[in-house]
A and B are shown apart, each in its own frame.
Chain A
Amino acid sequence: MSVTAGLIARGARVEACRPWPRSIVDAVVWREAAGHLARGALILTGLWGEPGRIHLALINADYSQPAILTLDCPDGRFPSVGQRHAPAIRLERAVADIVGLVADDAPDTRPWLDHRRWGLAHPQNGSGGDAAGPAAPYRFLAAEGDSLHQIAVGPVHAGVIEPGHFRFTANGETIVRLEARLGYVHRGLESLAAGAAVERAAALAARASGDSTVAYSLAFARAVEAALGVEPPPRAHWLRGLMAEFERLANHLGDIGAVCNDAAFVLMLAHTGVLRERVLRACAVAFGHRLMMDRVVPGGAAVDLDPAGAAALRAVVGEVRRRFPVLVALYDETTSLQDRTVGTGRVAPALARAFGAGGFVGRASGRAFDTRRALPYRPYTMLEFETPVREAGDVDARLWIRIEEVRESLNLIEQLLADPPTGPCRADPAAGGGTGDAKGAEGVALVEGFRGDVLVWLRLGADGRVDRCHLRDPSWFQWPLLEVCVEGAIVADFPLCNKSFNCSYAGHDL
């Protein structure tokens, strides 16, 4: 029996949750799970709260059998997982801010998303929030030693990027400690989705992180479909696969140029920027929106693809196929550029594993996890593709993973375009499995976005509403690694490392 199966068997199964098993366990099992996490037998994939209970989403170390453990905590306290397993620390801080549940013996009790500016505390505590907590200056972690100075950057940065604060402690040019402070773009998304109609909640999920709008919409849609027992028609899966891979392609193209640009190699950005723009224009022709926002919906896809759209997609794939190899050679043979990327911002494989870091951050450090393969969903079950993995863990490796994933996405898109299924692109709700009273039905889904795995869990309420939902961005398990990988680097390498991670602020802050 796998570790997750063993833990699930020791609790009371909640049959309403699909397709992952969920069990209500006691504090003994909860603590045991934390121990398994600490010794690497389990991977943490989510930790979130509701009034009076806390949930822990886990996957076995071999990427199999995901499961959710729930601990009732009527007194508002639960045993800290972060105390044993560092990747849970910020999630527990967020739970304390948002729901008001306190992790006992937590190693870090500072607020995280709550900057004491909301006018209330614990917005999801069930009664619409508590009185605001006392405002207090944020204490950054200490760094001690001779001749140290601090550099404070943000929340408003110098470029066109999202807001966040970075506190560097440096000795001369050398970074001794970096600590990020996030939460600036916390929009209260989950609270707005609670009680909202499914359509509105889906639109909110589509706006969790704009660069991953397809991935979030897909995760949300699959969670709703799992809760309702609805199966979208084949053409819906086909369209979703196309959109998901075009989103990955567009983002990777943008990133490859942006990373090189931060190493002062502007030429690459100029050329990948052209390819990215062509991809976005083709997506606008094919799906009616450059970023494909609101195109993936519960039950299927909101738009079908007509012959003109398919032709635009085919043309742009051909264009990228023609132009991209030259750019790869350009990177591969420009040693002055590699001088900046090779060996810079190294993330040790053990750390990537411990944090369950997804996407190119994990894969550049030897972690092969890819949701499309580990927990496969359609249309990927019917397609052939590789998941590139490297071991070096540096900026160069994160770039190469993106380069290789561009090729894989092109392959996937070509396979899809070669074999279009016919029929409707959306399930008829009347023909769906569970259109009766869906109140209490729960669904959970993990989707491979360009940045890594996006988790959505939700419970439906009455009258086609969402009772509660939780969205977990891959960045939660990547931001802390960025802080580690710049230790001992020079301050000037931070922008390069940061870009090579390209973590989401909006998806993290929600």
Chain B
Amino acid sequence: MPMFTVLLESLTGGPLTEPAAPLDDARLAALATRLDAAARRRLGRSLALRHVDAGSCNGCELEIHALSNAFYDLERFGLRFVASPRHADVLFVTGAVTRNMREALERTYNATPSPKWVVAVGDCAFDGGFFAGGYACAGGVDAAVPVDLHIRGCPPDPAALLEGLLALMESSASP
């Protein structure tokens, strides 16, 4: 019975991109249209993302997770997370690249077929953030693999992550 109630409420309750955050909704709607055009040109409306935590505090992961909730609904943009780098177009890398993770990151990068893009997510992935300079971290993601786009923030919020993905789509689509 609860299953029926929940399903019925979901069907009759209207979409969740609700008036509580009108600004966000407008921004997301604009993003959806723009991203759609760029993605279609380059990759036939679909882009496969593979996440690699290379030394994150897990804060960035929480916000990457949020991309999949009903408010951001990443998949409506044709963007989806895949389980293997061999299926990925984009590596979403977080963290200050620990020396203990560096090889795993490099191997994941090498396992990703070209063309591929690397997005460095968060301030740690940018330049090591608070963890730069120690014995245990290599620094930003570009210390290990070439980076196409940095999305700053500690952590970047889901809207910033979506915006970053859009920027990547547009720049990769222009010759």
The chain A residues found within 8 Å of chain B, CB to CB, are 115, 117-120, 123, 129, 155-156, 158-163, 183-189, 191-192, 200, 203-204, 207-211, 213, 254, 267, 270-271, 273-274, 276-278, 280-281, 284, 290-291, 293, 326-327, 329-330, 332-334, 504-506
Does the CB pair A192–B65 fall under 8 Å? Answer: no
Check B137 for interface membership: any CB of A closer than 8 A: yes
Check B155 for interface membership: any CB of A closer than 8 A: yes
Q: Which of B4-57 contact A (CB under 8 A)?
A: 5-7, 9, 16, 20-21, 51-57
- The total of interchain contacts (Cβ-Cβ below 8 angstroms) comes to 161
Does the CB pair B61–A162 fall under 8 Å? Answer: yes
Check B2 for interface membership: any CB of A closer than 8 A: yes
Instruction: Give A211 to B57 CA distance when docked, in angstroms.
Output: 8
Interface mask (B58-82 → A, CB under 8 Å = 1, otherwise 0): 1111111110111100000000010
Interface size on B (CB < 8 Å)? 55
A187 with B137, Cβ < 8 A, contacts A158-B84, A161-B61, A290-B157 known: yes
A185 with B61, Cβ < 8 A, contacts A118-B136, A192-B133 known: no
Q: Which residues of chain A are within 8 angstroms of B68 by Cβ–Cβ distance?
A: 273
Q: Name the residue on B nearest A155 (C-beta).
A: B104
Q: Which residues of chain B are within 8 angstroms of A161 by Cβ–Cβ distance?
A: 53, 61
Does the CB pair A156–B108 fall under 8 Å? Answer: yes
Q: Which residues of chain B are within 8 angstroms of A208 by Cβ–Cβ distance?
A: 57
Does the CB pair B70–A274 fall under 8 Å? Answer: yes
The chain B residues found within 8 Å of chain A, CB to CB, are 1-3, 5-7, 9, 16, 20-21, 51-66, 68-71, 81, 83-85, 95-96, 98-104, 108, 129-131, 133-137, 154-155, 157
Instruction: Give A384 to B137 CA distance when docked, in angstroms.
Output: 44
Q: Which residues of chain B are within 8 angstroms of A332 by Cβ–Cβ distance?
A: 2
Q: What are 25 of the A-B contact pairs (CB < 8 Å)? A: A115-B100, A119-B99, A155-B104, A156-B108, A158-B84, A159-B81, A162-B53, A183-B100, A187-B55, A187-B131, A191-B134, A207-B130, A207-B131, A210-B56, A210-B60, A210-B62, A254-B62, A267-B6, A277-B70, A284-B157, A326-B9, A332-B2, A333-B1, A334-B3, A506-B56
A204 with B130, Cβ < 8 A, contacts A187-B98, A280-B66, A326-B5 known: yes
Instruction: Give A254 to B66 CA distance when docked, in angstroms.
Output: 10
Instruction: Give A503 to B64 CA distance when docked, in angstroms.
Output: 18
Q: Which residues of chain A are within 8 angstroms of B130 by Cβ–Cβ distance?
A: 192, 200, 203-204, 207
A333 with B66, Cβ < 8 A, contacts A160-B61, A185-B53 known: no
Instruction: Give A276 to B72 CA distance when docked, in angstroms.
Output: 13
Does the CB pair A290–B101 fall under 8 Å? Answer: no
Q: Which residues of chain A are within 8 angstroms of B84 by Cβ–Cβ distance?
A: 158
Does the CB pair A188–B137 fall under 8 Å? Answer: yes
A447 to chain B, nearest CB (A): 17
Instruction: Give A158 to B88 CA distance when docked, in angstroms.
Output: 12
